[in-house]
Amino acid sequence: MHELSLCHAIAGVVRPHAADRHVDVVHLQIGALRQVVPESLLFCWTLVRDHESMSDAQLELDLVPAEVMCRSCGHQSEIASRWSVCCPECESGDVEVVRGNEFLVTSLDVS
């Protein structure tokens, strides 16, 4: 499962940063183009965190909308569909993705 491997990746980032401190919250930024299902990610996290000795660490998701810059008409727009990447103004597929590919741990709350 896609989300499960992502959770292992998250744990791999969190572990060295947390050192031996107790992790309360992991803040994660996810772009819309990552095609992550938030509910699945949160569920997989509950499986992974138990193995990582941070069984009460919460995952906080910050969902970033996808934005494209169109090379045809020059518009920068947010795109609603995460399945097709094209310009909502002129429907050109010649676009550059400006935002939406994020997948990063932005901060940790530790105690």
- List residues binding Zn ion (CB under 5 A): 70, 72-73, 87, 89-90, 92
Nearer to Zn ion, 29 or 88 (CB): 88
Minimum CB separation of residue 82 from Zn ion in Å reads 18
Question: Distance between CA 103 and CA 28 in Å, rounded?
Answer: 7
Nearer to Zn ion, 4 or 69 (CB): 69
Minimum CB separation of residue 87 from Zn ion in Å reads 3
Give me Rg for the CA atoms of the chain.
17
Minimum CB separation of residue 68 from Zn ion in Å reads 8
Question: Distance between CA 68 and CA 55 in Å, rounded?
Answer: 38
